[in-house]
Amino acid sequence: MTTSRLAALDRDDPSLLPLARRLLSVAESGLPSMLLPGKEAFAFTLAGTRAPDGSWRVEQRGTSRRYAAITALGVQYLPEDRQRAVLGGRTAQEFTGLLVESLPSVTNLGDAALIAWAAADTGHPKLSDALARVEALDHRDRPQYTVEAAWVLSALAAARDSADVEGHFTAARDRLLRSRTGGSPLFPHATGPGLVPGYRAHVACFADQTYPLQALARAHASGPGDPEALAAAQACAARICRLQGTGGQWWWHYDARTGGVVEGYPVYSVHQHAMAPTALFDLTEAGGGDFGAAVRKGLRWMTDVPELAGRPGGQEPLILDELGVTWRKVHRGDPRKAVRAVRGLATRAVPGVRLRVLDRVYRPLSVDRECRPYEFGWMLHAWLGGRI
Alpha-carbon gap, residue 144 to 152, rounded angstroms:
10
Cβ contacts of residue 170 below 8 Å, gap of 6+? none
DSSP 35: B
pLDDT band at residue 328 using 50, 70 and 90 as cut-offs: very high
Interval 75-90 mean pLDDT: 97
d(Cα 341, Cα 202) in Å, to the nearest integer? 13
Residues 6+ apart with CB under 8 A from 361: none
| Segment 228-270, tens digit of pLDDT | 999 999 999 999 999 999 999 999 999 999 999 999 999 999 9
Q: Give pTM, 2 decimals.
A: 0.95
CA distance 12 to 44: 35
Q: What percent of the chain has pLDDT over 70?
A: 93
The per-residue pLDDT for range 49-60, each reduced to its tens digit, is 999 998 999 999
Q: Which domains does the chain have, with CATH numbers?
A: 4-384 (1.50.10.10)
Tell me the average pLDDT across 91-96: 98
